[in-house]
Amino acid sequence: MTVNGVPVVAIDGPTGSGKGAISRSLAVSLDWHLLDSGALYRSVALKVNREGLALSEPAALAAAASRTRVEFSAAAEPEAILLHGDNVTALLRTEECGAMASRIAAIPEVRKALWKRQRAFARPPGLVADGRDMGTVVFPEAELKVYLTASPEERARRRHKQLIQKGIDVSLPDLSEDIARRDERDANRVVAPLKPAEDARVLDSTGLTPEEVVARIRVWLRESGLLSN
Ligand code: DC
């Protein structure tokens, strides 16, 4: 089934599974839109932090989530993320922001406030939706659902490499611990926990190159009739 007539591919998975890079590369190769839902949660986390809101106030957090104005500017390379017009791309990618996002993402009121906004990303000719609950909650009717994962060691190594390349200094053992904590919180929260949708295809990318992963997903797209070549 399409989402309002628009084909959607949901790509879910834990931190470091490579879903960000894979989703982007797939969206570019298909010339489809991209929803980086983690960036939405990270933007809300940053706003909550800047406004000094307490995590114990779900109504205030949900109101902040509704007020958060995020723009994805494809004009910059790599793509820039603007929060109320301010370029926050680098700030959003820090581990602190990811951990904070994971905390506010466990609050049902915040998830509810972002649900409709995420659905609005489904526009022609198609959408690649990257997140934790794209296939289970936000786009349950998506034609293709992929649950991308990799071994914990490989995920920590990939994330470490990414951060070092961005000039962010972090130790591998600290990062492994942080990832384990985030996995635990994301998978065990009451609302929209991280788990494969029942009809998701699970893809373990350990030992695969990004190109091999994209190629595999393109085969599934063809099988689902979403891609003709
Ligand atoms: O994908 P990411 O690392 O940018 O996501 C940051 C956090 O946001 C992640 O730890 C959990 C939360 N998140 C979520 O709960 N649901 C989503 N669809 C996307 C992200």
- Mean pLDDT over all residues of the chain? 92
- For residue 114, being part of any structural domain is answered with yes
Report if residue 63 sits inside a domain: yes
| Cα of 211 from ligand 1 centre, angstroms | 24
Ligand 1 pocket check for 132: Cβ under 6 Å: yes
Count the residues in the chain: 229
- Does some domain include residue 227? no
Q: What is the pLDDT of residue 104?
A: 96
Q: What average pLDDT does the segment 90-116 reach?
A: 93
Distance in Å, CA 101 to ligand 1 centroid: 7
pLDDT digits (tens, 9 = 90+) for 168-203: 888 999 999 999 898 899 899 989 899 999 999 999
Atom of ligand 1 nearest to the CA of 189: 15
By most ligand atoms within 8 Å of CB, the mutation choice from 23, 102, 133, 148 for ligand 1 is: 102
The answer to whether residue 229 sits within a structural domain is no
- So what's the pLDDT on residue 16? 86
Query: How remote is the CA of residue 99 from the centroid of ligand 1, in Å?
Result: 9
Rounded Cα gap, residues 83 and 73, in angstroms: 11
Residue 3 lies in a domain: no
* Domain assignment of residue 102, given as a range: 8-222
Residue 228 lies in a domain: no
Is 96 contained in some domain? yes
To test the pocket of ligand 1, the residue of 132, 145, 168 to mutate (highest count of ligand atoms within 8 Å of its CB) is 132
Cβ atoms 20, 92 nearer than 8 A = no
Output the pLDDT for position 166. Answer: 81
Answer yes or no: is the C-beta of 186 below 6 A from any ligand 1 atom: yes
Structural domain includes residue 131: yes
Q: Give the per-residue pLDDT at 76.
A: 64
27 has a pLDDT exceeding 80: yes
Query: Which pLDDT score is estimated for 2?
Result: 76
Number of domains in the chain: 1
Residue 30: how many other CB atoms lie within 10 Å: 20
Q: pLDDT tens digit string along 59-100? A: 999 999 999 999 887 666 677 999 999 999 999 988 899 999
- The CATH number covering residue 34 comes to 3.40.50.300
Q: Is 15 in the pocket of ligand 1 (CB under 6 A)?
A: yes
pLDDT in the model for residue 141: 95
Q: What is the dihedral sign for C-alpha 47, 50, 51, 56?
A: positive
